[in-house]
Structure 1
Amino acid sequence: MNKARITAAALPAALPFRLLAGAAILLSLLLLPQPGHAQGIVRGAQEGSYEGNRIAGPVGGAVGGVVGAGVGGAVGAVEGVFGIPHHHYRHRCHGYYDGYHRFHCYR
């Protein structure tokens, strides 16, 4: 007597791994900071190299540029990813700005 074997159509073993990897790549691309937040790198490098050059000469300028780019990029990326607003300087008193954009306190 011939017994026919019935086999189920199995998915390839790599398919769930590929779906998981594709979802991870898509999620990581969605979480990248916007191009406007990359300005922290450039400005950090500029300010770091200026201050380092002013204080310690050309070697300080090179080191300050590298450190400033790293810190500026990290702060810009963290603020961009988590949506942390950048706070500007605020006065401790109540007042107003005049026509020349100078702040005056009431007291």
Structure 2
Amino acid sequence: MDFEQGSINISDDVLKEIAFRSFIEVLAPDEKDVKKLKKSIEIERTPDDNVIVYVRTVAPYGQSLVEFGKKIMKNISENIQRMTELQVSAVNVTITDVVEKIETTEEEE
């Protein structure tokens, strides 16, 4: 982003951290599982400097998988756009398993 006084560059690591914190707000995992979940998020930039976020997660059994995924998508998208003023093109959520209690799976480690 260019301004009269200079430019501001936001790294992919910062975007990943915002996405991660937004993700765990929805997921509410145990503290011991939090660090493992960061590996389940990937950031991609388009040529127009828009952001695409990829999230892999498990979902709680008995809950609407679509609604669960939409909550994650909305929270991540809104927070990145609000904090960085970058456009989020997509938040792609892949549900890898359905579990009784949300915990990280071996695949996400």
TM over 0.5: no
- TM-score, normalising length from structure 2? 0.32
With CA pairs under 8 Å and 6+ residues apart, which has the higher RCO, 1 or 2? 2
- The structure in which a higher percent of residues are strand is 2
Q: Decide which structure has the larger Cα Rg and report it.
A: 1
Greater share of helix residues, 1 or 2?
A: 1
